[in-house]
Amino acid sequence: MSEERYSYQKAIRQFVYIELPVDTDHDGRNDLVRADIIRPAELDGKEKIPAIMDPSPYYALYERHGEKNEYEHPEDVWNSTLSCYPFFYDNYFVPRGYAVILLATAGTSLSAGFCDIGGPNDVASANAVVDWLNGRAKGYMTRERRTPDNELKAYWSNGLVGAIGKSYDGSVANAMAATGIEGLRTIVPISAISSQYRWYHPNAALLDGDDADGGWFEPDNFAQSLESTADGKLQRFNLMGGLDTLREGSDKASLDYNAFWAQRNYASHAKDYKASVFIVHGVNDLNVMMNQVEDYWRELGENGVPRKIWVHQYGHDDPFDFRNDVWMSTLDRWFEYWLKGIDNGIMDEPIASVEDIDGNWHEGSNWPEPEASMHVYRVSGGEDPRLGELVEAVGADSEARTGETSLVASLKGGRINELVDAYSCDKADAQRLLYVSAPLQQDMHVSGHVEVEVSVKASVPRSNLCASLIEYGEGTYIEPGPDTHAMVEIDQQRTVHWQTTPQDKAVYKVWIPRKSREISRVVTRGWISTDHREGFDHHVPAPQDEWITVRIPMLATDSLIRAGHRMALMICNNTERLAQVPDCDYEVRLDAIRLRFNAVASPCAR
């Protein structure tokens, strides 16, 4: 880890209003976005330094680990520096020779413009910081005057930038990298979105809370919740049809993947990346799910992007809370290499660090586990075809049967509670199909892709079809709470021995995993809207009274199903994780069901 050489107490604290090349709020002038900067005073005018930035729409709304933007002069925030920079990046990295920059993305907090949820405005506002640091954009000391005598230049910057952030913030970092902007050397997206379509309309489905009444999970509604409410010359809240653009572009009527969503698909631009990428994500994140990682990670590798990944067992959580010491040392060395050019060996180390279900971390040459191989399971019905056995298929049995079948299970439409229904493994239920394996003879380490293939007849042209992979067996399991976090804050503080000021203290709450003793757990789940079974860029209504083949992509995972426990496949119409949609009754051909996943089967080590 690098050494603290500079005073945090004496650091230069300033702000700048950076001019964008666009006028997104249509007030007749290009937008100005606000960036707050803290940097070591000892290096001012003596040495050019790199910057670490966190672009976010949340600075006026939410705390970061108990801290929120606080201003020296709260009566005039527009012309005031910050007295408290939220979270820990400033406390840690400023004494180590970095500038730390907090950017309020377009239309949020003290930034003008229109928030467009990961679109061109968000990207332009974040890239403007990189451009300003490299002398390609103008910045002003105040927002009223755009004259040469009011300009502020980044004379202290060496032009190299690292963008970091969790959730929305990390998604903006992904979006920046997708543009290939010069000067952005690395990004660290934590629990971040790489494809906005997969967040809003995963597999052309709608998430819970996004029913016919509109719901929060739509770009136009989300944008309104983030947009600054300041008025007049302070901040124009003049959308000029912007919300309509978001509403129409997202195409909730058909849920097709279109040009609007392609513009917000950062993973598809991996070939344009000039920045390295350090991904951190949890397999139990039910907010930003693992569908944001699997293809993205592969695309980065196929395009030769320098990369590193941490895969953990928690939810929408921060590595600062569950692996603090290793996280800080790794992040320190990552930035040293990419922003200071110090060859500290971090790029010679394994690129994957994966946590197992017991909390142990394993270093590897890649993720998913390179030694994993494809396993295929089929089902056989019992006296009631809605219940039966899950059996590993080999040879010709690995392929789903074609033609007519002698055994069909009827599945009643409806929305089930996935967690509650996962408990009962021996009870027939009209609203689910459940097929359970014999006790496993070996540990089964499932790593990466999981999918289910089914052949069904549907009663309505458009509805969901869902599947869950379940582990039956008593154990201590991690399960995210309603807030999608699997880490729980406890009433205990941790003082980190970094430099502070009375207004900006490095004191944080302690967090522990949310664990409980259970008899079952959902390993992973997946769903699809049946009218998108042939592709997400178009929809084809499911014909009635005709067999159709549907592949249900499940969320990639990294999880151990223990020897002696049983594995199960559950199929249903809809779950409470998803929005209420028209119920659909299905007929399901049992000998056409195939569960496929990559895994390593190994003798039980306990």
pLDDT tens for 114-124 read: 999 999 999 99
Same domain, 272 and 408: no
Same domain, 388 and 426: yes
pTM score of the predicted model: 0.95
Instruction: Give me the pLDDT at residue 472, please.
Output: 95
* Known catalytic residue at 285: yes
Would 186 be classed as within a structural domain?
A: yes
Domain termination residue (choose one: 338, 364, 390): 364
CA distance 109 to 126: 14
Would 357 be classed as within a structural domain?
A: yes
Q: Which domain covers residue 442, as residue numbers?
A: 373-479+514-602
- 192-249 residue pLDDT tens: 999 999 999 999 998 887 555 445 578 888 888 888 776 544 444 455 678 888 989 9
* Known catalytic residue at 316: yes
Same domain, 315 and 385: no
* Known catalytic residue at 504: no
Q: Which of 56, 167, 276, 459 does the annotation list as catalytic?
A: 167
- Stretch 389-411: mean pLDDT, rounded? 83
Q: Which two tokens stand for residue 469?
A: 């992979």
Instruction: Give me the pLDDT at residue 606, please.
Output: 42
Domain termination residue (choose one: 343, 364, 385): 364
CA distance 359 to 378: 32
Same domain, 339 and 446: no
Q: Which of 201, 269, 312, 316 does the annotation list as catalytic?
A: 316
Whole-angstrom CA distances from 113 to 122, 146, 529, 551, 564 are 9, 17, 35, 42, 58
Provide the number of structural domains found in the chain: 2
Residue 405 has pLDDT above 80, yes or no: no
Is-contact 50 339, C-beta < 8 A? yes
CA-based radius of gyration for the chain? 25
Q: Which of 90, 210, 285, 585 does the annotation list as catalytic?
A: 285
Give the sign of the dihedral formed by CA 575, CA 580, CA 583, CA 588: negative
- Stretch 161-176: mean pLDDT, rounded? 97
